[in-house]
Amino acid sequence: MTASVYDISGIKKDSVVLPKSLFGTKANPSLLAQAVKVYLSNQRSAKAKVKTRGEVDRTSHKLYKQKGTGGARHGSRSANVFVGGGVIFGPTGTQNYKLELPAKMRQKALLGALALKAEDKNVVIVSNTIEASGKTKQSAKLLAKTGLKGSTLIVTALSQITFKNACRNLPQIDILQPGSLNTYAIIKHKNLLVTPEALEEMEKLYAK
């Protein structure tokens, strides 16, 4: 699989063969779905909490006499059947949503997501980022010339701060470093834009 190479000014320079160790894994749809589920679940925090019937501020006085009303027997307005009463089996604020995916499965899912992007011809390499001005206008022009439409994930090396700063204010753009890559981020975006330096780091981290 190949990808077009553009310089920082948006001029197409060449096409390169993408590393098979990164983009040659066959995607497993069920594994991708599992990796996404685990990632999203691990972003959750247990913020929701409801009050039980023992916590609501309601009178404990018996509503009406036990017998002779023709209605059901009730002893307190804090029961869940009444408006303002307690909630049964609601969130307590202590739920643990953390899930785990074995490292090998996590790696295979990420490589499968990369392979899908390469199959769809949605991978672009941007070289010579050392000449980046840090201006958003330059990055917008670059993306326009590459022909990438829709949301784009940009992967930069740790040292490419100027290029990163030039891209971070663009709409529909997310920027990650190789060590922070995950299956969800790759699948979420239509396009993948990578620098050669980031590609080298990705090979060291994820290549099979």
Question: Mind listing the domains of the chain with CATH numbers?
Answer: 2-37+100-206 (3.40.1370.10), 45-96 (no CATH)
Residue with the two structure tokens 């990705």: 202
What's the CA angle centered on 144, arms 133 and 12, to 5 degrees?
Answer: 80
Pairing outcome for strands 2-6 and 123-126: parallel
First to last CA, the chain: 17
Does residue 184 have a pLDDT over 90? yes
- Provide mean pLDDT across the span 91-110: 94
State the pLDDT at residue 148: 86
Band the pLDDT of 208: cuts 50, 70, 90.
confident
State the pLDDT at residue 59: 87
Does residue 14 have a pLDDT over 90? no
Q: What is the mean pLDDT of the chain?
A: 93
pTM of structure = 0.83
State the pLDDT at residue 174: 96
Cα–Cα distance list, 94 to 10, 76, 90, 100 (Å)? 50, 27, 11, 18
Q: How far, in Å, CA of 178 to CA of 176, rounded?
A: 7
